């Protein structure tokens, strides 16, 4: 009996010792926080050194929280722009964690290009988010996932625009053959083809179609039997447009324009268009813009488009026919020129917009196009076109060299233009016409990084490496590139940063020929751009090259880049380069979406300070 009692007491003591040991292991786990090797001696036989109860040494590390930030709230649908999504992993003390697996994924057909699959030494994973092949306006949600953690952020794709041209704008009750031409374009006015379009028209019936290669769709309808206003609404690419047509007998009674027109312009895009064969549908979009005082758009201007006499007998047709087209709320009236089978000399076809603030008579059937100032053409705006028969192929390229100009104050960068015919043969004697556009400027500075200089856009002197957060890229303030500081409809000015001038300046970069402006026997011309050394690295540019002069043919191409710097200028940490500080400011700027006063498209993401 005594032995049994002593044995039971020993068992109780053993249980107590084991419980105490387990408590010690638990305390050790708390101290380890799940992140150490827990290399204390094993508590029990069979437990290996380095194991923690409930901890698998082979398991991936985990974060206590995850943050997700986007570099912008909107993304234009130009197809090349991106938004940066940045995910940051932290522990319970909000300290960043490296080597944390993170996945970043967008929805709605967007694409992601991640910097890696796990956080870097700063606890960050980033991804460039693009729109993919879908250029429609829409919301895109980006999701960052790490283990059981998930965070989301949303931005908007913008830029798709839908226009409507009623032909005619006033229809008789029960009449047939009426139509409304819709056109869908992106932020750069490029056509959005192959897009589903739904038109809600007569009697509220939906008609579904697809935009063609020009982004266009023509809705045909029979007018209702009773008079009144007919609203025709189309939806495509994430945007909608409602066009009101007046249904009534007799002549139309659309009210005249109530703002005096002070500026009337006509633009053709493209200005070079190939002839049409039986299997092509080439065309040039014609856009008349009417502005009043203070750049106010003028609505209800009557416009009739024609070929201004067609002195070279090129032919072709206008999609508006002889109908009056009315300017919309943006002061814009549109049609399209569709070539026939004949090509023209360079700028050999003139298109015309005859206009008035009130109705004016059409020319008699079979009569020549009237002269400007006549009752049939009270006022006129002109644009020229080149209709081509054989497309030339034009390319532009460069090398890795940068030269210092003869003054020692500028840099020179050269470019090779090559012109071939459709068979790939070099085309000699082709006239080249170059131009350069300054797309945007950058704010920031160059800092010493190791044994060389490195660029920071934007710059922040309070950070260890000088890298600032926020926006350091600003669109050209001269939205319509007319060299004039203009005022918007809401009172804002193109000079968004308040310096009193437009940035960047047109004279910051120039383009010229090295030698002849016509191609040699190898089909080549050399161009150069020249810019002050202090501007290097701070401007993004686009070179447009047009080749023309051979049997009326013409081709175009572009080259886009950032003003390059001389490698030697950034290789000596003891010698600051001429471009060490951006001439347009160094600190991050807030941005504001502004409206192009010509196109009325919201395409200018302008910086609103000049720090």
CA–CA separation, 544 and 558 (whole Å): 5
Q: Is residue 164 scored above 90 in pLDDT? A: yes
Strand partners, 555: 547
pLDDT tens across 251-270, in order?
Answer: 557 899 999 999 999 999 88
Least confident of 33-37, 179-183, 450-454: 33-37
Q: Which 3-state string (H, E, C) describes 237-294?
A: CCEEEEEEEEECCCCCCCCCCCCCCCEEEEEEECCEEECCCCCCCCCEEEEEEEECHH
Question: What is the per-residue DSSP string for 91-129?
Answer: -TTS-B-SS-B-EEEE-TT-EEEES-SB--TTSEEEEEE
Q: Are 184 and 195 in contact (CB under 8 A)?
A: yes
| pLDDT at residue number 279 | 79
| pLDDT at residue number 250 | 66
CA–CA separation, 525 and 511 (whole Å): 13
Categorize the per-residue pLDDT at 288 as very low, low, confident or very high, splitting at 50, 70 and 90: very high
| pLDDT at residue number 381 | 96
Instruction: Spell out the domain ranges in the chain.
Output: 1-59, 65-158, 161-247, 263-388, 393-607
CATH number of the domain at 263-388, out of 3.20.20.150, 1.20.1250.20, 1.10.10.10, 2.60.40.1930?
Answer: 2.60.40.1930
pLDDT tens across 559-585, in order?
Answer: 999 999 999 999 999 999 999 999 999
pLDDT tens across 65-124, in order?
Answer: 999 999 999 999 998 899 999 999 999 999 999 999 999 999 999 999 999 999 999 999
pLDDT tens across 535-565, in order?
Answer: 999 999 999 998 865 444 457 889 999 999 9
pLDDT above 70 as % of the chain:
85
Q: Do 65-158 and 161-247 come out as alike in CATH topology? A: yes
User: Locate tokens 């206003």: which residue?
Assistant: 229
Q: Is residue 7 scored above 70 in pLDDT? A: no
Categorize the per-residue pLDDT at 46 as very low, low, confident or very high, splitting at 50, 70 and 90: very low
CATH of domain 65-158: 2.60.40.10
pLDDT tens across 200-216, in order?
Answer: 999 999 999 999 999 99
CATH architecture of 161-247: Sandwich (2.60)
Q: Is residue 55 scored above 80 in pLDDT? A: no
pLDDT tens across 479-538, in order?
Answer: 878 777 877 655 667 888 888 889 999 999 999 999 999 999 999 999 999 999 999 999
Mean pLDDT of the chain: 86
């Amino acid at each position: 009996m005594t032995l049994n009692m002593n044995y039971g007491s020993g068992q109780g003591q053993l249980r107590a010792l084991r419980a105490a040991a387990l408590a010690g292991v638990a305390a050790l786990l708390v101290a380890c926080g799940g992140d150490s090797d827990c290399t204390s001696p094993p508590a029990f036989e069979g437990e290996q050194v380095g194991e923690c109860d409930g901890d698998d040494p082979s398991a991936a590390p985990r974060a206590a929280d995850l943050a997700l930030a986007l570099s912008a709230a909107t993304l234009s649908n130009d197809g090349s722009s991106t938004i940066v999504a940045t995910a940051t992993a932290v522990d319970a003390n909000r300290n960043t964690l490296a080597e944390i697996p993170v996945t970043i994924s967008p929805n709605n057909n967007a694409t992601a290009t991640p910097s890696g699959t796990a956080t870097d030494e700063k606890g960050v994973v980033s991804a460039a988010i693009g729109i993919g092949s879908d250029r429609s306006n829409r919301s895109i949600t980006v999701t960052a996932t790490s283990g059981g953690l998930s965070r989301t952020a949303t931005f908007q794709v913008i830029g798709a625009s839908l226009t409507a041209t009623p032909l005619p704008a006033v229809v008789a009750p029960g009449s047939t053959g009426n139509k409304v031409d819709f056109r869908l374009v992106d932020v750069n006015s490029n056509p959005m083809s192959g897009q589903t379009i739904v038109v809600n028209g007569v009697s509220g019936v939906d008609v579904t179609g697809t935009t063609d290669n020009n982004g266009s769709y023509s809705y045909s309808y029979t007018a209702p039997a009773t008079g009144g206003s007919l609203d025709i609404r189309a939806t495509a690419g994430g945007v909608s447009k409602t066009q009101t047509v007046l249904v009534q007998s007799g002549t139309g009674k659309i009210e005249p324009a109530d703002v005096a027109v002070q500026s009337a312009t006509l633009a053709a895009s493209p200005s070079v268009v190939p002839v049409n064969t039986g299997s092509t549908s080439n065309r040039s979009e014609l856009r008349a813009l009417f502005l009043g005082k203070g750049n106010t758009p003028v609505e209800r201007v009557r416009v009739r488009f024609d070929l201004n006499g067609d002195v070279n007998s090129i032919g072709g047709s206008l999609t508006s026919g002889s109908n009056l087209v009315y300017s919309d709320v943006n002061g814009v009236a549109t049609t399209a020129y569709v070539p026939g089978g004949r090509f023209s000399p360079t700028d050999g076809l003139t298109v015309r917009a005859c206009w008035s603030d009130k109705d004016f008579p059409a020319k008699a059937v079979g009569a020549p196009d009237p002269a400007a100032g006549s009752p049939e053409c009270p006022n006129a705006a002109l644009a020229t076109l080149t209709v081509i028969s054989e497309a030339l192929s034009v390319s532009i390229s460069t090398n890795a060299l940068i030269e210092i100009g003869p003054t020692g104050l500028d840099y020179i960068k050269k470019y090779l233009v090559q012109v071939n015919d459709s068979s790939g043969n070099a085309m000699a004697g082709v006239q080249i016409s170059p131009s350069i556009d300054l797309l945007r400027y950058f704010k920031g500075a160059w800092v010493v990084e190791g044994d060389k200089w490195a660029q920071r856009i934007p710059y922040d002197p309070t950070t260890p490496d000088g890298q600032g957060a926020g926006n350091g890229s600003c669109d050209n303030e001269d939205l319509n590139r007319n060299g004039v500081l203009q005022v918007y409809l809401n009172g804002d000015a193109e000079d968004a940063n308040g310096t009193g001038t437009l940035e960047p300046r047109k004279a910051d970069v120039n383009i010229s020929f090295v030698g002849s402006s016509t191609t040699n026997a190898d089909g080549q011309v050399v161009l150069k751009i020249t810019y002050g050394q202090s501007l290097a690295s701070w401007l993004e540019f686009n070179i447009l090259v047009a080749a023309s002069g051979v049997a009326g043919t013409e081709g175009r191409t572009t080259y886009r880049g950032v003003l390059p710097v001389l490698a030697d200028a950034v290789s000596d940490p003891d010698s600051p380069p001429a471009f060490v500080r951006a001439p347009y400011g160094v600190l991050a700027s807030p941005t504001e979406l502004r409206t192009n006063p010509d196109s009325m498209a919201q395409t200018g993401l302008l910086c609103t300070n000049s720090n």
